Amino acid sequence: MKMSLYIGREASKLWKRASAEAVTEGILLADNWKYLLAGIFCQYLHGLAAHGVHYLHRPGPTLQDTGFFLLPELGLERAYVSETLFTFIFVSFILWTFHPFIFKNKKIYTVLLWCRVLAYLVVCQALRVVTFYSTQLPGPNYHCREGSPSARLPPPKDAIEIITINFPDGLVHGCGDLIFSSHMIFTLVSVITYYRYGTNRFIKQLGWVLAVIQSLLIIASRKHYSVDVVVAWYTVNLVVFFVEKKLPELPDRMAMTMLPLSTKDKDSWSKEESHKLSMSALVDPSSDRNQRLRSPANGKTTIEDGNALLIADSQ
């Protein structure tokens, strides 16, 4: 009986927390849906470009590669290992981005974070498309080698075949889109984003370890040449560095927590007022509402770069 009451009480709290977060994220989504839609559409364009270069692919002898020499070949029967690790990394990252709907302590806004992630991905993928269309290398993967039926694609029969990217085979058995690795783009963007905005130190360190293991597995699976992985490592990190320079600082929800100025003023700060003030700083960081605000009590409140900070005067 007590357990049932406890579960019911916690479920009610979780529902209220998720509902409140949905309202907050909904406001942000209304202001940023165009950026999200554009980023998602660019994912389709990237897939379209990767499928298009497959028509240009010509199989040939596997190029000499240092990674192939140093790492034993996993073989076709164990090629799933790298895909399994990649899926684990990226799915874990996606679930983490939605943790504000579940957990009480939260640092990020899901909508704003995904706007940032998509910006990273779009820039990296644009550079990738330019690179693999510049030079087509013979694919080292098993389905891209001479003799494989999918190594060469016949000319498309119609526009529908191109637009649909021959889904799903066009995504799974692509050839020619080598430099640089798309798997490493998604892996590194996930790891870097959590490193910047996550809170658990162990997971941050684990993320880098898994990224290194993922790199080695991709090469050992012969899905990419070593150069594809190496170029991805420094390109993605540089892209994130320069994109961050251009984007406004992401609001830190922990720093935006509003505290009462004194015991006397505690009741004057309602939850609704705190929420409105936080949202005004978040939605439009450059507006007049985001300038310095002074309270009538013994203290002052300032809002700078979307973060609400309370500095109470010493008594």
DSSP, residue by residue, 206-228: HHHHHHHHHHHHHHHTTSS-HHH
Extract the tokens encoding 235.
């390109």
Single out the catalytic residue among 224, 284, 288, 313: 224
Question: Cα separation of 15 and 126, whole Å?
Answer: 40
pLDDT score recorded for residue 144: 93
Question: Cα separation of 265 and 24, whole Å?
Answer: 26
Domain ranges of the chain: 1-257
Q: Output the DSSP codes for 249-305.
A: PPP-TTTT----SSTTTGGGS-HHHHHHHHHHHHH-TTSGGGS-B--SSSEEEEEET
pLDDT score recorded for residue 235: 97
- Give SS3 for 6: helix
Active site residue 224: yes
Which positions ≥6 away from 99 have C-beta within 8 Å?
Answer: 106
Single out the catalytic residue among 54, 183, 252, 313: 183
Residue carrying structure tokens 């991905």: 121
pLDDT score recorded for residue 293: 36
pLDDT tens digit sequence for 173-197 = 889 999 999 999 999 999 999 999 9
- Give SS3 for 148: coil
Q: How far is CA 212 from CA 148, 207, 215, 229, in A?
A: 30, 9, 5, 10
pLDDT score recorded for residue 302: 40
pLDDT tens digit sequence for 128-152 = 999 999 999 999 999 999 989 888 9
Closest CA to 171 of 99, 83, 93, 253: 83
Extract the tokens encoding 100.
């504000």
Active site residue 275: no
Type of residue numbered 228:
D
Question: Please, is 148 exposed, middle or buried when counting C-beta atoms within 10 Å of its C-beta (0-12, 13-18, 19+)?
Answer: middle
Long-range contacts of 24-33, Cβ-Cβ distance < 8 Å, separation of 24 or more? 24/109, 24/275, 24/279, 25/100, 25/101, 25/109, 25/110, 25/111, 27/279, 27/283, 28/109, 28/111, 28/112, 28/282, 28/283, 29/111, 31/283, 32/111, 32/112, 32/115
Active site residue 228: yes
- What is the pTM for the complete model shown? 0.79
Single out the catalytic residue among 46, 173, 228, 288: 228
pLDDT score recorded for residue 114: 97
- Give SS3 for 16: helix
* Residues with pLDDT less than 50, the chain: 258-315
Backbone dihedral angles phi then psi of residue 312, each to the nearest 5 degrees: -90, 135
Please check whether residue 156 is in contact with residue 55, taking contact to mean a CB–CB distance below 8 angstroms.
yes
pLDDT tens digit sequence for 250-291 = 887 776 654 444 444 444 444 444 444 444 444 444 444 344
